[in-house]
Structure 1
Amino acid sequence: VAEVPLRSGALPSGSLASWREVAEALDAGRGLEETLLTVSVPEDLAVVVTEAIADCVLAAEQRAIAGVLTDTSISAFGRLMLFALQGTPALDVVTTNYDRLVEVHAARAGVRVDSTFYGHTVGRFDPLLSREELLQMQRSSGRGRKSSVSQRAHIRLSKPHGSLDWYSRDNQHYRSDLPLGGSRRIVAPGGNKYRLGYEVPFDVHRARANEAIDKASALLFIGYGFNDDHLQTHIVERIAHVPTV
């Protein structure tokens, strides 16, 4: 309610009228997601709301990341990843959050991440090259030595709602901690949430997340609300067949 009017000076009167309706609902105590699903919000206003949401999450994320990186011990989630990877070369992690906390926990624990982007300072969206960065050459000892290629232990990270470090420009999709300009690629609450979930790169992450759920031998949920249309059908089906916590 405080931020959006500061950012919406160039919006047409119709969009501002829609925002007043949203603001009244928020002031009355309704939740943001519920409100944006019931009030019709024009595309230009949706962009402004998404920017405000991204900046709000970013501020909270920075405080959380500082805590993870300054802690003298590996976090509980980092230890969990290390433990799980003792029994499998790859662990699927699915998050509908926009923050980079999973990636930071993994880095703090020394766990590699397949994020579907390859490169470092500015990563480009390419699921194949992202996987290939995890390959390593192994040579057997003794006579007739042979070489083989295997994957380093890692997590396969799926973020069907996008991430604060995703950007798109000229039909190219990037991941970077640098402020590249333009809108961050996140699926914010609202009426366009379902449609955006079928755009690149959200669609690849949604499909990968659902494939991971369908093939899972067990499921662990941490702080999940069981209310996301992109994943729920697959989750309900799989819970009936595998151990779940």
Structure 2
Amino acid sequence: MDKETFLKRIQGFVEGVPLIVLGSGATVPYGLPTMSQLAEQLETEINFNSDDRDNYEVWNEFKNKLQKTGDLETALQETRVTEAILKRVIKCTWNFVNEADKKAFDKIISNPQEFHLINLLKHFGTSQRELRVITTNYDRLAEYASSYTNGFAYTGFTNNYVGNHIAEAADQKYKQLDHYGYLIKIWKIHGSLDWFKNGEGVVRSFPHSQYIADNHSPCIITPGAEKYRESLQDPFRSILTQIDKDFSNASSFLCIGYGFNDEHVHPKLLSKAKNDNIPVVLATKEISKAAKREILNSDIQKYALIEDNGKNGTRVFLSDHEEEIVYDNEDFWSVSGLMSILK
């Protein structure tokens, strides 16, 4: 397929306003850690004394499973972690990701021209009054990008120094905004660096907080079995309800750096794509095995998977093309590469 035909195909797939799904691959280029880097940090930072027998043995069991599987989520799912271990994992994860987030923020405000997610949101935000972003990440990069647009960003919490959770406010209050061009709903299904739970179980947002306040714990869902229990509680329960509505209304999906390995997102996405025959575009550094399994072997009739071919070019899998397509010396898989297609 010649390049011009390919470009028009992708433009047609995401014509209008797609539902945008951001995975870790969307923020890694800006210095946020990968899952493997997080796993290394947890192994290095968390230790238990042998006198603390229960936690010591369970943590060693986790580390052994991690070394065998090489997968953080699998190791945590297969280990019955104690409450003490879970608290340490959450705290260590928050500190590690928050430090990377702060460095990314400093770079972004110093040189926003290099933060291409801004241009992506601007591109789609100009055509409608509502833009929907679902992210599996804890970081604030979607919020940073939104701040450089003419859109009003809403994550399910009021925009105060101490934000309260009102998931429905996006539809009830922020739908009509006289001084903004559009509404950007950012649904963070695994929590945010800004969200904290107090001793009474109340979750509030402390925007851009750089430390964990006394008597609070980060409200983030870490990989492992606990993620399913936590997702049944607010704010996650309400956010998932809002996501269901957005999936129902989606006309296409644009996935950036997403690995198709989250049970709260990809089953609904795939079902919508199959049943309503709407396009799925995935752009990422390396297409995950899960993504290839879920999409290439599915009944989805319109898809485009775009990845780095490892040789300074781009590899593409298209729904109506039997063979993979390679474009030498072309970057179409990064956010800046996507913008070269869309503009």
Class of the TM-score when normalised by the shorter of the 2 chains: 0.7 to 0.9
- Decide whether the 8 Å contact of 1:117 with 1:130 is kept in 2: no
Aligned-partner SS, 2:241: helix
Structure 1 runs of 4+ aligned residues shifted over 6 Å read: none
Q: d(CA) in 1 for partners of 2:92 and 2:231? A: 20
Q: Which residue of 1 aligns with 2:268?
A: 234
Counterpart amino acid of residue 176 in structure 2? L
- Decide whether the 8 Å contact of 1:11 with 1:45 is kept in 2: no
Counterpart amino acid of residue 102 in structure 1? A
Closer/same/farther in 2, CA of residues 11 and 133 from structure 1, 3 Å limit: farther
Counterpart amino acid of residue 156 in structure 1? K
| Structure 1 residue 9: Cα displacement | 6.3
Counterpart amino acid of residue 238 in structure 1? K
What's the CA shift string for 1:206-230, capped at 9, x where partnerless? Answer: 2222321222011100000101111
Q: Which residue of 2 aligns with 1:3?
A: 45
Aligned-partner SS, 1:50: helix
Closer/same/farther in 2, CA of residues 221 and 90 from structure 1, 3 Å limit: same
Q: Which moved more, 1:177-186 or 1:230-239?
A: 177-186
Q: d(CA) in 2 for partners of 1:56 and 1:86? A: 35
What's the CA shift string for 1:95-146, capped at 9, x where partnerless? Answer: 01111010001112343112111132111112344552563459xxxxxxxx
- Decide whether the 8 Å contact of 2:247 with 2:272 is kept in 1: yes
Counterpart amino acid of residue 99 in structure 2? A
Q: d(CA) in 2 for partners of 1:236 and 1:191? A: 23
With the length of structure 2 as denominator, give the TM-score of the two structures. 0.62
- Decide whether the 8 Å contact of 1:118 with 1:130 is kept in 2: no
1:183 aligns with 2:213: no
Q: Which residue of 1 aligns with 2:196?
A: 167
Gaps of 5+ in 1: 139-150
Residue-pair matches, total: 231
Q: d(CA) in 2 for partners of 1:136 and 1:216? A: 22
1:209 aligns with 2:238: no
Q: Which residue of 2 aligns with 1:92?
A: 132
With the length of structure 1 as denominator, give the TM-score of the two structures. 0.85
What's the CA shift string for 1:63-104, capped at 9, x where partnerless? Answer: 222221111527321111112122210011000111101000
Question: What fraction of aligned residue pairs are identical, expressed as a percent?
Answer: 25
| Structure 1 residue 232: Cα displacement | 2.2
Q: d(CA) in 2 for partners of 1:190 and 1:196? A: 11
- Decide whether the 8 Å contact of 1:219 with 1:244 is kept in 2: yes
What's the CA shift string for 1:35-73, capped at 9, x where partnerless? Answer: 101111112211111111111111221222222111152
Counterpart amino acid of residue 108 in structure 2? V
Counterpart amino acid of residue 184 in structure 2? I
Match of 2:187 among 152, 158, 166: 158
Counterpart amino acid of residue 242 in structure 1? I
What's the CA shift string for 1:138-169, capped at 9, x where partnerless? Answer: 9xxxxxxxxxxxx8512111111110110122
- Decide whether the 8 Å contact of 1:15 with 1:44 is kept in 2: yes
